[in-house]
Amino acid sequence: MKISQISVFLENKNGRLAEVTRILAENNISLKAASIADTSDFGILRIICDQTEKARQLMHDHLFTTRVNDVIAVRLDDRPGSLAAIMTLFEQNRVNVEYLYTTHIGQEQRSAVVFKVEDVERGLSILRQNGMETVKGF
Amino acid sequence: MIWNEQRECEDLETRRKRQLADLKELCFRLYDRVPFYRARFDAAGLTPADIRQLSDLSRIPFTTKDELRETYPYGLLAVDESELREIHTSSGTTGTPVVGAYTDADISLWGEVAARCLCMAGGRRGDVVQNAYGYGMFTGGLGLHYGARALGANIIPAASGNTKRQLMLMRDFKSTILTCTPSYALHMAEVAKELSIDPDRLHLNIGVFGAEPWSNAMRAEIENKLHLKAFDIYGLTEIIGPGVSCECAAQNGLHVNEDHFYPEIIDARTGEVLPDGETGELVLTTLTRQGTPILRYRTRDITRIDSSPCACGRTLRRMHRLLGRNDDMLILRGVNVFPSQIENVLLRIEETQPHYQIIIERGASHLDEVELQVEVEENFFSDETKELERIRRKIHSELKQELGISVKVKLVEPRAIARSEGKAKRVIDRRNLQGGTP
C-alpha cells in the first residue's frame, strides 16, 4: 500500500526545524518517520505522520511550502542482508530509487524502510509479486 | 470617454501657445516669489523675459531632488502659507523628505488630472473605485481619491494593508476599479487564491497601478489572476502625485497631461535635451502649480516620448512605460542591471514567481557579491533536492544570459521576503559605497 509523505521546504536557519516540530506537537500530531535531505542552502524535511491532511494544512497556515506524495514502506527483519534483498530486487527490475530512510513500526517492534521510487505502483507490484510485506500504515 | 476633450484632444498649435503663456507666467511668478529660483535665474544670467519660446526652457538650470531636500520645508513655496490647504511629502527613505504643498487650485488640478487618468483607463461616473494606495503623506491615496471624486465614482478608501478585508470589501461593495501598487495587486491576487476566492465572482474590470516600475510580464500575471485589465499610471510627489500620465485603452505609452506638466527628455550625462523618440531621463516642469511649482525637475526616470497620433484621439504626447530609474540601476561588477530585468527572467521561467530580493555585498575580495533570493512556491517545490537544484540552476543560467554576469541564486521560504503593501523592497545593497560607517 502507498503511504502519504509530507515534505516541507526549510531554509538552513536556526530554529526552523524546531518550529515545524513544535507546531505538530502543539496540535497533537504524532510523527511516525522523519528524515532530512540537506544542501548547503536549504533542507527538505520529509515526514510521515498520523494525520497527513491536518499536518499539511497546519504547515500551509504557517506559510511553509509543502508537498504530499506517495512512498512505499517495507518491513525489515533485523538481520544482515534484509535491505540488500530488496535493493537487489529493485535493481533486477530496474526500479529507480530516489531516496530511502528507515523507521520503526511502534506496535510491532520492527523496523521499516521507506522508499521513494520513480513509479510507486510498479514498485509496489514488484514487491508484492516477490512476497515482500509492505506497511499499510504506521 | 475622454474626461476633458477640449484639453486632451487640443490641436498642437493651440496647446503650444497655452504652454508657452503658462511657462512665461510661471517664470515671472517664481522670479518674484521664490528666492531659490531668482538666484537660479541670476546665476544663469537670465531674466524671466528671456523665456520667449518653449525651447528657451532649456536655458533654465535643472532642479534636483537634493535641492528639494535642502530647501525643506518651505524653501520653494510660491504662495503665502495661508493659501495652503494640504501638505504631502515623499517617503523620505533616504533622509529629509521632499515637500509638495497644495493650494485650493492645486487640489482641483490634482482631481482634474487624476480623473483624466481614471477615464483613460476606462473609468466613468458610477464606477466603484477601491483605492488601496496608502493614504496619508504619501500622494498615492489622496491623489486617486480626488481623481475618483472628480470622476463621480463611489470611493472605497480602503488604503493599503489588511488584505483579507480588502477582498471582503471588493466582493461586498462590488468594486469595479482597483487602484494600488502593482506588487500589492499581485499580493492580493495570491491571498485571494489562498482563500479560494474565484476572481470571476468579484466585479473588477480595471486596475490602475503605479508608484513603482513594473513590467508587461507582471501586467499579464496580474490580469490573469484578478481578471481585470491593468493600466499603468505615473506621477511623483515633486510634481503633484499620481496624475502626471496614464495609459489609455491603446496601451501604447502613457499620455502626459502636458498642458500642466511639460515633459523633456535629456541625456542624463550631458543634460542636453533630446528629440522626441530618444531615450533618456524625464524632466518635468509644472506649468500651472501654485503652491510648490517646479522648473525642470530631474525625475531620474528613464523613458522616451512618442508624439505619433494615438488611436484614442488624445493629442497629449505619450511617455513609454518606465524603462528604469537612474536610482534603481545597479552597477554590479561594472554591469548595469535594472531590477526589472530580474523580474522578467523569473516571470519567463514557468515555475517561478517574481518574488525575489537581491542582496549585494562587497566581499573580502572587494568584488560585488550578488545573491538573488527566490521564494520556493508549492507549484515547483519537490521532495527531491535534485529537482529544486534543477530550478535553481535554470534561474542562474537564464540570469547569466540576460544580465551577462553570474549571480548566486538562493532558494528561500515563501514570505521570507517582505511583501510590499507600499513599494516593494527588492534590493538590499550592503556595499556601503558612500564610504564612512554604515
Q: Which of A17, A37, A69 is the last residue of a domain?
A: A69
Q: Model confidence over B215-235: pLDDT tens digits?
A: 888 899 899 999 999 999 999
Q: Using CB atoms within 10 A of its CB, is residue B58 exposed (0-12), middle (13-18) or buried (19+)?
A: middle
Say if residue B87's pLDDT is above 60. yes
CA nearest neighbour of B150 among B100, B110, B104, B179: B110
Pairing relation of β-strands B427-429 and B356-362? Answer: parallel
Nearest to B147 by CA among B138, B155, B137: B155
- Average pLDDT over chain B, rounded to an integer: 90
pLDDT category at B430 given cuts 50, 70, 90 is confident
A58/chain B closest Cα distance in angstroms = 14
Give the CATH architecture of domain B330-429: 2-Layer Sandwich (3.30)
pLDDT for B242 beyond 50: yes
Residue B321 has pLDDT above 70, yes or no: yes
* B412 and A CB contact within 8 Å: yes
Within a domain: A32:
yes
Q: Is residue A47 part of a domain?
A: yes
Task: Write out the DSSP string of A64-103.
Answer: --EEEEEEEEEEE-SSTTHHHHHHHHHHHTTPPEEEEEEE
Q: Is the Cβ of A30 closer than 8 Å to some Cβ of chain B?
A: no
Give the length of chain B.
438
Q: Which three cell numbers stand for residue B267?
A: 541625456
Mean pLDDT score, B401-415? 87
- pLDDT tens for B54-67 read 999 999 999 998 89
Sorted by sequence, the CB contacts under 8 Å of residue B224 that are 6+ apart come out as none
Beta bridge partners of B232: B209
A137 belongs to a structural domain: no
User: How is residue B142 written as a grid cell?
Assistant: 489622496
pLDDT tens, position by position, A11-40: 988 899 999 999 999 999 999 999 999 988
Domain-located, residue A96:
yes
B355 has a pLDDT exceeding 70: yes
Nearest to B383 among A41, A44, A63 (CB): A44
CA distances from B364 to A40, A87, B278, B359, B367 (A): 21, 48, 41, 16, 8
Chain B residues touching residue A9 (CB < 8 angstroms): 376, 381, 411, 413
For residue B364, the model assigns a pLDDT of 65
pLDDT at residue B432 is higher than 90: no
Q: How far apart are CA A67 and CA B378, in angstroms?
A: 7
pLDDT band at B435 (very low <50, low <70, confident <90, very high): very low
Do A120 and A102 share a domain, yes or no?
Answer: yes
Q: Using CB atoms, pick whichever of B377, B385, B416 lies closest to residue A44.
A: B385
**Mean per-residue pLDDT, B166-193:** 93
Instruction: Clarify whether residues A58 and A86 are in a common domain.
Output: no
Q: Is residue A138 part of a domain?
A: no
Which member of A11, A63, A67 has the closest CB to residue B381? A67
**Which is more confident, B417 or B13?**
B13
Residues in chain A: 138
- Is the reported ipTM for this assembly greater than 0.90? no
> Are the CB atoms for B91 and B85 separated by under 8 Å?
no
Q: Which three cell numbers mark B347?
A: 516571470
Residue B49 has pLDDT above 90, yes or no: yes
Q: Which domain holds residue A45?
A: 2-69
Distance CA B1, CA B106 (A): 24
Residue A30 identity = S
pLDDT more than 90, % of chain B: 70
User: Are A36 and A43 within 8 A, CB to CB?
Assistant: yes
Q: Same domain, yes or no, for A56 and A78?
A: no
Q: Which one has a higher pLDDT value, A45 or B211? A: A45
Predicted confidence at residue A64, as pLDDT, reads 93
- Please report whether residue A31 resides in a domain: yes
**Do A15 and A30 sit in the same domain of this protein?**
yes
Q: Which of B42-51, B220-229, B348-357 has the lowest mean pLDDT?
A: B348-357
Q: Are residues A33 and A18 in the same domain?
A: yes
Interface contact B384-A65, CB threshold 8 A: no
Would you state the pLDDT for residue B92? 55
Are A42 and B384 inside 8 Å of each other by CB?
no
Evaluate the omega torsion of the peptide bond into residue B73 and state whether it is cis, within 30 degrees of 0. yes
Confidence of residue B436 (pLDDT cuts 50, 70, 90): very low
Q: What average pLDDT does the segment B233-244 reach?
A: 96
pLDDT at B282: 97
Residue B194 has pLDDT above 50, yes or no: yes
- Residue B361 grid coordinates: 555585498
Asked if A69 reaches chain B (Cβ–Cβ under 8 Å), the answer is yes
Nearest to B258 by CA among B239, B272, B277, B238: B239
- In the three-class reduction of DSSP (H, G, I as helix; E, B as strand; rest coil), residue A117 is classed as strand
| For residues B275-303, average pLDDT | 95
pLDDT of residue B433: 54
How many angstroms away from the CA of B418 is the closest CA of chain A? 13
Whether A105 is covered by a domain: the verdict is yes
Do residues A38 and A97 both lie within one domain? no
Same-domain status, A41 and A64: yes
Instruction: Say yes or no for a CB contact (<8 Å) between B383 and A66.
Output: no
| B312: confidence class by pLDDT, cuts 50, 70, 90 | very high
pLDDT recorded at residue B438: 33
The matching CATH number, chosen from 3.40.50.12780, 3.90.1170.50, 2.60.40.1220, 3.40.50.880, for B1-327 is 3.40.50.12780
Strands B408-412 and B368-375: parallel
**With 70 as the cut, is the pLDDT of residue B365 above it?**
no
Domain end residue (candidates: A39, A69, A99):
A69
A96 touches chain B (CB under 8 A): no
Same structural domain for residues A62 and A78?
no
Residues 334-393 of B with CB under 8 A from A: 376-378, 381-385, 388-389
Q: Does A35 touch chain B (CB under 8 A)?
A: no
Residue A11 and residue B413: Cβ atoms within 8 Å? yes
Neighbouring C-beta atoms of residue B209, cutoff 10 Å: 25
Q: How far is A12 from chain B (nearest CA, A)?
A: 9
B211 pLDDT more than 90: no
Of residues B327 and A56, which shows the higher confidence score?
A: A56
At residue B423, the pLDDT reads 54
Cβ–Cβ under 8 Å, residues A75 and A11? no
- What are residue B313's phi and psi, to 5 degrees? 95, -10
Are A86 and A48 found together in one domain?
no
The answer to whether the CB atoms of B378 and A66 lie below 8 A apart is yes
Indicate the domain borders of chain B: 1-327, 330-429
Contact B413 A9 (CB under 8 A): yes
Rg (CA), chain B: 23
Interface probe with A: pick from B380, B383, B412, B415, most Cβ of A within 10 Å: B383
Higher pLDDT, B404 or B300: B300
Q: Check if the beta carbon of residue B150 is closer than 8 Å to that of residue B111.
A: yes
User: Do A137 and A108 meet the contact criterion of CB atoms below 8 Å apart?
Assistant: no
Residues A46 and A95 in one domain: no
pLDDT at B112: 98
What is the number of structural domains in chain A? 2
- pLDDT the model gives residue B241: 96
pLDDT at B437: 35
Q: Quick check: B272 pLDDT over 80?
A: yes
Query: Has residue A21 been placed in a domain?
Result: yes
The CATH code of the domain that includes A87 is 3.30.70.260
Nearest chain A Cα distance for residue B385, angstroms = 7
Partner residue opposite A63 with nearest CB, options B382, B383, B415: B415
- Confidence band of B91 (pLDDT split at 50, 70, 90): low
Q: For A38-84, what is each residue's pLDDT tens digit?
A: 988 899 999 999 999 999 999 999 989 999 999 999 998 889 999 99
Supply the Cα-derived Rg of chain A in whole angstroms: 16
